[in-house]
Amino acid sequence: MAGSGISHYLTPEAMHKLGRQVLLSRYVVEGNLAGAHRSPLKGASSEFADHKPYNKGDDPKHIDWRVYARTDKFYIKRYEDETNLRVYFVIDCSHSMAYRSDDSLPTKYEYACKLATMMGFCVVKMRDSVGLFQIADNIKMKMIANNSMNHLNNLCKRMQKTKPASNTNLAESLHLIAESIHKRALVIVLSDLFGDDEDPESVNLALAHFRKQMHDVVVFHMLDPAEIDLSFKNGAEFMDMETNEVITANPKSMAAAYHEVFEEFLAKYRTACKAMKVDYRIVKTDEPLDDFARAYLEERRRLQAG
């Protein structure tokens, strides 16, 4: 797609289709502006939070007289304030993200950047903030969260400028990011979760670090369809894009073993994320992105409303 910044990833038609979509947090967040998300801070809004004993100086108009009638004690109603949401996109830009099995498909990195742009557009449109981390063998780049279209445009230019390279140290990079985000936020990780000598357990521990910090976490597991079904027909040389190791193999003879090992790999993430209440989704690069993004945002809206 031609253009620079947002226009490199989104056409005017795509932006129009996203016009009514919103990205909501499933948990409480912390921000600076009035918005549509629950906050841990108690203030004057329409959603009841809890009671606290009445103290001298409290506004008597907030006394819950029904509770007084039952207990003969004064209690104050407290409400959940509403706040803006900070969304941080964590995009893997290691060499394996440059893979595509067919020239008609985007690379995993290109697909991840366009998905982040679509989500970011919905975020900023609602006066919420977006930030960006690009990671590979370490944190390659960081952009603080801001809530302007100009900021989103600059963020997209940085994504567009980056070319996937180097090895992956996903777990360590995620731990560093978790330490750097001090207020509750929505963290969206877009990665193929492949790494040199990196096992799912270490990455899951890093995701748990985010949850311990009370962040809402989404993992978009970016995969090329050939990585899932091993659809190659003939024997070939396969190269590890990060280590340059080459092996010769016949895909047909190894298909059954490959599918078993790969399913175990996916199950480790699926099971751990479910237990941690991390929203884990496999994202295939041959799937129409507009359809995936709208379906995901709509599902998240329904779950939050329920």
Flag whether 206 is in a domain: yes
Are 235 and 300 members of one domain?
yes
User: Are 198 and 136 found together in one domain?
Assistant: yes
Tell me which residue of 133, 165, 127 sits closest to 33, measured CA to CA: 127
Please count the structural domains in the chain.
2
Q: Can you list the positions of beta strands (E) in the chain? A: 37-43, 47-53, 75-83, 86-92, 129-135, 139-146, 186-191, 216-223, 236-239, 246-249, 279-284
- What per-residue confidence (pLDDT) applies to 49? 53
| All residues at 6 or more sequence positions from 161 whose CB lies less than 8 Å from its CB, including other chains | none
Residue 154 shares a structural domain with residue 300: yes
Number of residues assigned to the chain: 306
* Residue 77 sits in the same domain as residue 144: no
Q: Residue 225 CB: number of other CB atoms within 10 A?
A: 16
Are residues 99 and 223 in contact, defined by beta-carbon separation less than 8 angstroms?
Answer: no
Is residue 98 domain-shared with residue 232, that is, in the same domain? yes
- With tokens 């203030």, the residue in question is 43
Assess whether 242 and 275 both reside in one domain. yes
Beta strands in 136-185 (DSSP E): 139-146
Looking at the fold, whether 111 and 213 belong to one and the same domain comes out as yes
CA distance 281 to 176: 23
Whether residue 145 is contained in a domain is answered as yes
Same domain, yes or no: 155 and 267: yes
Neighbours of 2 (CB within 10 A): 5
Range of the domain at 269: 6-28+85-305
pLDDT, tens digit (0-9, with 9 covering 90-100), for 98-125: 999 999 999 999 999 999 999 999 999 8
Residue 1 included in any domain: no
- Taking 50 as the pLDDT cut, the residues of the chain under it are 29-42, 44-46, 80-83
Per-residue model confidence (pLDDT) at position 37: 47
Cα separation, 75 vs 71, in Å, equals 10
139 and 72 within one domain = no
User: Do both 62 and 181 map to the same domain?
Assistant: no
- CATH code of the domain in which 109 resides: 3.40.50.410
Both 175 and 121 in one domain: the answer is: yes
* CB neighbour class for 240 (10 Å; exposed up to 12, middle 13-18, buried from 19): middle
**Is the same domain home to 71 and 152?**
no
Tell me whether residue 218 is in a domain. Answer: yes
Q: Does residue 92 lie within any of the structural domains? A: yes
